[in-house]
């Protein structure tokens, strides 16, 4: 029988609130041992062990939590009697943790994130089915080598492309573009597609000696947005990089481009991402010497790749190449 280890971090799947209610609750209250008691019998699917890493709303996770989790996972993946891993996680930032791990988890063993939109105490809580399916998915041979994946509401998602799009529906993650790569019916996964983008063992990123990550912040562009925010981050906060959540194709006003041209001498990478879905490509009307296109990454995922890229290089062209690869 496959041996699966669960790392629990909290979220609504571990939420507790007024009996039966879905909206009024606090995330990160119920421990993983109790959550497992609510599952149907796992039978021959897997033998499960568990570790409670923390128990919090996923908005309270920190970059130190990520480094700790990644190191523990990389260590556990070396154990020959563990076949796969599940992380229980809040949905608000699940896509960020999933993509971070997709770039730094050094194993082909399955790693599946899951969570819930209704707390454990709700009527028709969605957590137990998601957790049951996530364990079955982590134990399935088809999940080997898929990179980090997520399971939610019968859908299997690529961690690079998963995006939360509803803040109350139990089917809370976007299905179109490249996000959904398969379905599950009960404990059986059906994969249909996979990403060409490199992940896990095929990336150069190594967290084993890291105690902190480079400081990269996201700034939003909107009509009338003051480009002085860029000075603030570069000169006051002394960031190592910035992601601009631009409009449309990673766009902003001419005043922003003029400001970026003036700041280019500082040689800090600036990623042009977009607040809408699609692809951000080079554009003479927007780019300056230090800008890098986010490709199809959301601003929050572009930030993760930029942080990791900066652990390897500060050369703009080398970072540009990474945004094509991962
Ligand atoms: N559905 C959820 O899990 C939301 C919760 N705020 C969290 O991210 O922890």
Q: Ligand 1 centre and the CA of 301: distance in Å? A: 18
b/e map 179-215, b = 16+ CB within 10 Å? bbbbebeebebebeeebebbbbeebebebeebeebbe
Indicate which residue of 9, 12, 97, 298 is catalytic: 12
Contact residues of ligand 1, CB 6 A cut-off:
11-12, 27, 57-59, 90-92, 115, 117
User: Is 91 a residue of the active site?
Assistant: yes
Mutate to test the pocket of ligand 1, among 10, 59, 92 (most ligand atoms within 8 A of CB): 92
Q: Does the reported pTM lie above 0.90? A: yes
- Is the pLDDT at 136 greater than 90? The verdict is yes
* Average pLDDT across the chain, whole number: 97
pLDDT tens track for 48-97 = 999 999 999 999 999 999 999 999 999 999 999 999 999 999 999 999 99
Nearest CA to ligand 1 atom 7: 90
Domains along the chain?
Answer: 3-202 (3.40.50.1170), 216-325 (3.40.50.40)
pLDDT value, residue 158: 97
- pLDDT surpassing 90 at residue 176: no
Tell me what pLDDT residue 175 has: 83
CB 122 within 8 A of CB 20: yes
Could you report the per-residue pLDDT of 164-173, keeping only the tens digit for each? 999 999 999 9
Mutation to probe ligand 1, out of 16, 57, 168 (largest number of atoms < 8 A from CB): 57
6 Cα: distance to centroid of ligand 1 (angstroms): 18
Q: Residue 114's pLDDT is what?
A: 98
294 confidence band (pLDDT: 50, 70, 90): very high
- Mean of the pLDDT values across residues 210-236? 98
Please tell me the predicted confidence (pLDDT) of residue 41: 92
């Amino acid at each position: 029988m496959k041996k699966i280890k669960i790392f629990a971090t909290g979220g609504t799947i571990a939420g507790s609130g007024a009996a039966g209610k879905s909206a009024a609750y606090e995330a990160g209250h119920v421990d993983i041992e109790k959550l497992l008691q609510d599952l149907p019998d796992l039978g021959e699917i897997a033998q499960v062990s568990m570790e409670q890493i923390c128990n919090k709303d996923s908005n309270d996770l920190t970059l130190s939590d990520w480094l700790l989790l990644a190191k523990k996972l990389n260590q556990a993946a070396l154990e020959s009697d563990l076949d796969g891993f599940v992380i229980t996680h809040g949905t608000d930032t699940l896509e960020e943790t999933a993509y971070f791990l997709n770039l730094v988890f050094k194993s082909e063993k399955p790693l599946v994130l899951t969570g819930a939109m209704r707390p454990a105490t709700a009527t028709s809580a969605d957590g137990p089915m998601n957790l049951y399916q996530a364990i079955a998915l982590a134990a399935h041979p088809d999940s080997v080598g898929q990179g980090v994946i997520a399971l939610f509401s019968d859908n299997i998602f690529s961690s690079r492309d998963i995006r939360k799009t509803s803040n109350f529906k139990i089917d809370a993650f976007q299905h179109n573009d490249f996000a959904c790569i398969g379905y599950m019916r009960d404990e059986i996964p059906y994969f249909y597609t996979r990403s060409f983008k490199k992940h896990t063992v095929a990336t150069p990123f190594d967290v084993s000696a890291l105690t902190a990550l480079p400081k990269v912040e996201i700034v939003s562009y909107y009509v009338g947005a003051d480009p002085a925010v860029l000075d603030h981050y570069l000169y006051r906060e002394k960031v190592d990089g910035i992601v601009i959540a631009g409009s449309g194709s990673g766009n902003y006003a001419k005043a922003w481009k003029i400001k970026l041209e003036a700041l280019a001498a500082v040689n800090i990478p600036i990623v042009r991402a977009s607040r809408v879905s699609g692809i951000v490509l080079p554009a003479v009307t927007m780019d300056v010497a230090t800008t890098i296109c986010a490709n199809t990454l959301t601003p929050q995922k572009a930030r993760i790749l930029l942080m990791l890229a900066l652990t390897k290089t500060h050369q703009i062209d080398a970072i540009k190449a990474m945004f094509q690869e991962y």
